[in-house]
Amino acid sequence: MPEHYATVNPCYHCMPLGAIFAAKGFEKTLTLLHGSQGCATYMRRHLARHFHEPVDVVSSSLNEKDAIYGGEENLKKALRNTCKQYNLQMIIVASTCLSETIGDDIGAVIKDVEKGVPGMAIPLVSVSTPSYQGSFSRGYWKTIKAALEKLSGKSSPCAQEGDKGRVEKPFINIIPGLVTPQDLRWFLRLGELLGIDFHLLGNYANTFDAPWETSFKLMPEGGSPISYLREAGAALATIEFSVVHPEADSPAVFLQQKFDVPAFRMPYPVGLDAVDKFMKVLTTFRGEKIPGEITENRGRLLDAMADAHKVLFAKKAVLFGESEYVFSVYRTLREWGMECPALVYGERESLLKEEIKEKGITFIDSGSMFELKEWINCNEVDLLLGSSVGASLSLEFGLPLLRRGFPIHDRFGAGRVLTVGYEGTLSLIDDTANMFAAEIHASFRRKLKESYLWKV
């Protein structure tokens, strides 16, 4: 493939979008983007079309004048106005390309605001998220880590006598990554089933997928309590679904280094092997066997893998999207006997190439769907798996597109798709096999007419 100096139609998104995902996971928390109004509008558009929910994102609204003289006053004014209009418990202040390029020191501004603004009792967390440093996935991990750096401690005694002689219930930190709201509900149900208290850092199940309300609410209910961040250093362990992102951005590694909380970094629990490893880690804290309901779901997945093998074996799928999810789905498809000749992702800092040892795979780390188009022109492909960004390639080449990831603009219910666990993997294998089954039945007569036997 020729070398390209520009990314055309990327399958990834800006770092501040990841900060918004992270902020929506906590109760009464908003993201304030220190940049132009267009940045916030772009993020809100993608989120609203994907989740079909209203999304509030605050902007400091920098203009040409502020780009020259600095946007400190804009940021201070935006913070004051946000605190007046919303009843918040935390504000995530994320930088953008513009504010980073002109050199605004957000951390220093926040310190001035915390000292000089009356009533500024809520925590203000600053995070550096210029898009030229990475994708929205990195923005998510950096924001969670920044919030923990600001707030975390051992304020809640864990599994031992407290100052008042009471015993707190042990808990495990779960940092889920960029999963769906339905996935987050699955984690909570799993914790209840196993009798383990999961502290999700954070949980946007209801803030991005709220039930119908008859009355207007300025902010949707839901999100993990801010206390989860303050108590994170007292956890039994931290399980983080991140393997291909650098440890420098890892919240779990931070908690391990500062509070000696054991860190478990693993792939998303997608696929038989990944879910098995997740369950194995959980059994070390539970001390009992996995409940029968879970083993039954595992058995159903094995049965489905046997059923679909004749349709899926040796099929070639191209994966594109956020590198952590691409890695997890790649492992899953290889379990089914499928091939993944090309992987497209937009994080050059990702360790995906190092984690995947298989030869003969094309890695397009620019995230450019135009480069993928050139690759498809010269190679055989049976399936595209990724977000709606691949819809144009699907139409152009007549390839089936299995929509997973973010964003999905041309279908409904993206936030209610279960992708993790044995159940989520079962849904994935059914959807994948049905893609090929539909093609077999739709093209049977055409292929028969084109065959030599029909002509004879």
Query: Do 371 and 378 meet the contact criterion of CB atoms below 8 Å apart?
Result: no
pLDDT value for 302 = 98
User: What's the pLDDT score for residue 166?
Assistant: 35
Q: In the prediction, which pLDDT does 279 show? A: 96
The pair of structure tokens assigned to 223 is 């999100």
User: In the predicted model, is pLDDT for residue 160 greater than 50?
Assistant: no
pLDDT of residue 164 exceeding 80, the answer is: no
The token duo for 275 is: 């879910």
Query: 14 with 131: CB under 8 angstroms?
Result: yes
For 288, residues 6+ apart whose C-beta sits below 8 A from its C-beta are none
CB contact set of 183 (below 8 Å; sequence gap of 6+): 176, 418, 419, 420, 424
Given a cut of 60, whether residue 117 has pLDDT beyond it is yes
Give the rounded distance of the alpha carbon of 251 from its chain centre: 14
Q: Which two tokens stand for residue 248?
A: 């420098």
Q: Which of 39-43, 92-96, 221-225, 452-456 has the lowest mean pLDDT?
A: 452-456
Confidence of residue 163 (pLDDT cuts 50, 70, 90): very low
In the structure, what pLDDT confidence band is assigned to residue 452 with cuts at 50, 70 and 90? low
Which pLDDT tens digit goes with each residue over 401-447?
999 999 999 999 999 999 999 999 999 999 999 999 988 777 666 66
Give the integer Cα–Cα distance in Å for 78 and 59: 7
Answer with the residue of higher pLDDT: 4 or 294. Answer: 294
- Please report the pLDDT score of residue 378 as a whole number: 95
pLDDT in tens, 174-195: 999 999 999 999 999 999 999 9
- E-state strands within 257-412: 263-265, 316-320, 339-344, 362-364, 383-386, 401-403
How far apart CA 182 and CA 405 sit, in angstroms, is 13
- In tens, the pLDDT along 128-147 reads 999 888 899 999 999 999 99
Question: Which strands form 29-34's sheet, in the order they lie side by side?
Answer: 58-59, 29-34, 90-95, 124-127
Helix H or strand E segment including 176: none
- CA 300 – CA 258 distance, rounded (Å): 42
* Contact by Cβ (8 Å): 407, 388: yes
Residue type, 347: E
CA separation for the pair 50, 208 (Å, rounded): 10
Most confident of 74-83, 98-107, 163-172, 260-269: 260-269
| CB distance 90 to 125 below 8 Å | yes
Calculate the dihedral angle through the C-alpha atoms of 242, 247, 252, 254, rounding to the nearest 10 degrees.
-160
User: Is residue 68's pLDDT more than 70?
Assistant: yes
Q: Is 351 exposed, middle or buried (0-12, 13-18, 19+ CB in 10 A)?
A: middle
pLDDT averaged over every residue in the chain? 90
Lowest mean pLDDT among 3-12, 135-144, 251-260, 304-313: 3-12
**pLDDT attached to residue 154:** 64
Name residue, tokens 């994907």: 50
- Does the pLDDT value for residue 219 go beyond 90? no
Lowest mean pLDDT among 105-109, 334-338, 382-386: 105-109
Structural domains in the chain, CATH included, are 15-151 (3.40.50.1980), 171-286 (3.40.50.1980), 292-447 (3.40.50.1980)
Determine phi and psi for 17, rounding to 5 degrees.
-60, -35
Q: Give yes or no for residue 456 having a pLDDT over 80.
A: no
Which pLDDT score, from 0 to 100, does residue 187 have? Answer: 98
Strands 90-95 and 29-34, bridge-based pairing: parallel
What's the confidence (pLDDT) of residue 213? 84
Q: Which of 67-76, 256-265, 275-284 has the lowest mean pLDDT?
A: 67-76
- The pLDDT assigned to 327 comes to 96
Of the listed ranges 207-216, 273-282, 417-426, the least confidently predicted one is: 207-216
Q: How confident is the model at residue 295 (pLDDT cuts 50, 70, 90)?
A: very high
pLDDT at 158: 45
* Residue 225 and residue 201 in contact, taking contact as beta carbons nearer than 8 Å: no
Alpha carbons 419 and 329: distance in angstroms, whole number = 10
419 compared with 455, residue with greater pLDDT: 419
> Which of the four pLDDT bands, split at 50, 70 and 90, describes residue 448?
low
Confidence of residue 369 (pLDDT cuts 50, 70, 90): very high
92: which strand partners? 31, 125
